[in-house]
Structure 1
């Protein structure tokens, strides 16, 4: 028996495994595929995500990273560059790296910290105690594996969660995103460019990867009648030809994925099992950002697990484990609720047009919006913008 089995070696699973192994626990990290492997994503990391990578001890000076200095918002022929806030609790830069590289890098980091990684291992379901129903391990295509605790980091479709009856909530928005890589002269643009007038409750992006290509995509923050692939085709066809975002310059096919947002699956703890990242529906409803909250939920889960397993009795351990959902709500509940309100509002095309028209002509207003959108409110506010952003976030009730 091992201390913790982590299912899924995406950002959430590898980060959890890394934190747990560094704390001295025996950790088995299971991945159904073999590295390197593809994942659909915008590949952009905000300063909040960068802070988590620093905490994990990831070397950000090694080749392969592209840095960005902020967000460029584009709508109705206007563009506004908004650098990331400086002098806050967060780094003043973001990062880009393809998920093909990024996920393997984090998995290898977990191994370097002491976790055992098994690739090509498909988890088929939870292993349950016959008497109590508690999760005591997992079943795999190679047999059963026992553990004191299991972390489900197996994505939006989470086989483990579904097997326990934990299905996505109908009252939480589930979005969808599609992306494609193109060879483009804009590959070295150091701003994350977001086009806000593609569709209400959605946006298009052009992120320069620094390697000769751009990651280009469309995110719909809730499911609509729009076909995201057709929407992307029509949007990219209208972009300047000099950008080279044409089928002839594509380096691969269009790929899509669901975006489970705002705690789309609850509860996040069942006896013996903790949900992290997409398995718990932890993308930000406001922008569809998922990696940040995968990393953050992994850290919170690992901290709870380490504290729980240090307790001498089963009842004491269980009391600590049941604090995990509240710890998530305390950290992410307010921003996620605010995000759902925001998406509900901009779903109205008139409100969306008014917001973009007014916002892009008022940089101070958009600086506030970016702090809230990217959840970069400073715990030690120093400016009126800091104070207002923090107040809006913290006064919003957790779900």
Structure 2
């Protein structure tokens, strides 16, 4: 029996923040869009759950209400711990970015964004596990096949076909669709690993995110402990709990030999008692995920397929954030696709779709190149030690670094530090 076929103008595979944002913007542009999600909501994702002002801007642009009474926990800034010091830095609000961040579990956030896309007009299919692309005579993608999943998470045996002239891969770090379309990961891009869990805590309503800059791993050869390139986080959720985790870059020579869960266990044991973290207050297993950075899959567009979010390696190498970049890419992808579909000829449509790569590299490419150099530098333990020892005592320097690491410069007519950051990003070649 032939599989059931459904058609649209655009198919978006994956209903994370990037995919749902793409679908919502496309629907708002009047485009008929299908949003395919392999799981059923609510579903969890490994993440810190913290949203910087850059991500908040994307929520505002998308028209998502972020009132505290609706379950959003608002943050004033970042508390940095390291080198025997504790430093509180407020988010640098300006004409481009709001002066606050937010915290919301991915269990809530992803479903909220997917339902928002549906409210805008997108057609959402949950439990729809995309398997492979359907190609036309030119080798361009023109649809996908998918297994229908049951409530128990197993395939039902039903296979469905979805057809559209444009497809967006927003299917995460593994991105089966990207691999099927010859988009392997690049080896010259940094990768990270993150592990996290949840604890109950009396400090659940703390209005600062907390970042610990000293994470130590055991040396497997019996030598002294190794300072790892990365940071630990405590993100209070305002609901009696906190998300606690760490992210470490693969630029350290010891990356492949350490146990990230052991690093986390040892770090949590050093926490102040005021947080109340213990095995008795831990609510979930420690789970891990990879963090693909700096456009580690390219090209971002080819043969009818655009990459958004983790599928295209859009994680910030400075701080491990991917939600802001995913939603930003969704906004740009939707604008490009809507413009392309309005063109009169297939050649004109293809030319506009090809501009997506340029648009994304102009938006984030130079900044990501700076981040690649940063990741290489802090992969050297001696540089990491010097940065913590001599950087943290200088509040003005740390304010600048916060603005750089969270990518928060005012885009036009900003202060001197904004202009310097923007100039560096523009002058640094995207790759």
- 1:269-325 per-residue CA deviation (whole Å, 9 max, x = no partner) reads 121111100000110111111101100111111110001000010000000001010
- Whether the 8 Å CA contact 2:235–2:243 is kept in 1: the answer is yes
Structure 2 gap segments, 5+ residues each? 1-6, 148-158, 216-226
**Displacement of 1:381:** 3.9
Please give the TM-score of this superposition, normalised by the length of structure 1: 0.98
Q: Deviations over 1:36-93 (max 9, x none)?
A: 0010000000111111101110011151100001111110210111101123310110
* Equivalent in the alignment of 2:220: none
Q: Is the 8 A contact 2:52 2:102 kept in 1?
A: yes
What is the correspondence of 1:372-383 to structure 2 with a 5 Å cutoff? 372-383=404-415
Deviations 1:6-26 (A, max 9, x none): 100000100000000000011
What value does the CA root-mean-square deviation take over the aligned residues? 1.1
Measured in 1, the distance between the counterparts of 2:369 and 2:414 equals: 25
Compute the displacement of 1:389 (Å): 2.4
The correspondence for 2:187, drawn from 144, 149, 170, is 170
- Separation in structure 2 between the aligned mates of residue 26 and residue 383 of structure 1, nearest angstrom: 42
- 2:303 is the alignment partner of 1:286: no
Partner in structure 1 of residue 355 of structure 2: 323
Match of 1:159 in 2: 176
CA distance in 2, matches of 1:267, 1:327: 12
CA distance in 2, matches of 1:385, 1:361: 19
Name the SS for the 1:122 alignment partner. Answer: strand
**Where does residue 222 of structure 2 map in the other structure?**
none
1:334 deviates by 1.1
Alignment of 1:1-399 (within 5 A): 1-61=7-67, 62-129=69-136, 131-141=137-147, 142-198=159-215, 199-222=227-250, 224=255, 225-399=257-431
Rounded to whole Å, the distance in 1 between the matches of 2:56 and 2:76 is 12
Offset, 1:226: 2.0
**Scaled by the length of structure 2, what TM-score is found?**
0.91
State the secondary structure of the residue aligned to 1:217. Answer: strand
CA contact (8 A) 1:18 1:115 kept: yes
Post-superposition offset of 1:335:
1.0
User: How far is the alpha carbon of 1:359 from its aligned partner?
Assistant: 1.5
- Give the deviation of 1:172 after TM superposition: 0.8
Distance in 2 separating the partners of 1:329 and 1:46: 21
| C-alpha deviation, 1:170, in angstroms | 0.8
Query: Larger deviation: 230-239 or 103-112?
Result: 230-239
Check conservation: 2:249, 2:379, Cα contact below 8 A. no
Contact 1:203 1:219 in 2 (8 A): yes
SS of the aligned residue for 1:123 comes to: strand
Contact 1:368 / 1:389 at 8 angstroms: preserved in 2?
no
Select between 352-361 and 325-334 the one with higher mean Cα deviation.
Answer: 352-361
**Residue by residue, what CA displacement relative to the aligned partner does 1:339-376 show, whole Å, maximum 9, x if unpaired?**
11111111111111111122111111111111110111
Q: Which runs of 5+ in 1 are unaligned?
A: none
2:4 equivalent in structure 1: none
Contact residue 195 and residue 289 of structure 2 kept, 8 A: yes
Residues 381 and 349 (structure 1), Cα distance of their counterparts in 2 relative to 1, 3 Å cut: farther
**Consecutive aligned runs of 4 or more in structure 1 exceeding 4 Å deviation:** none
Aligned partners of 2:93 and 2:270: how far apart in 1? 35
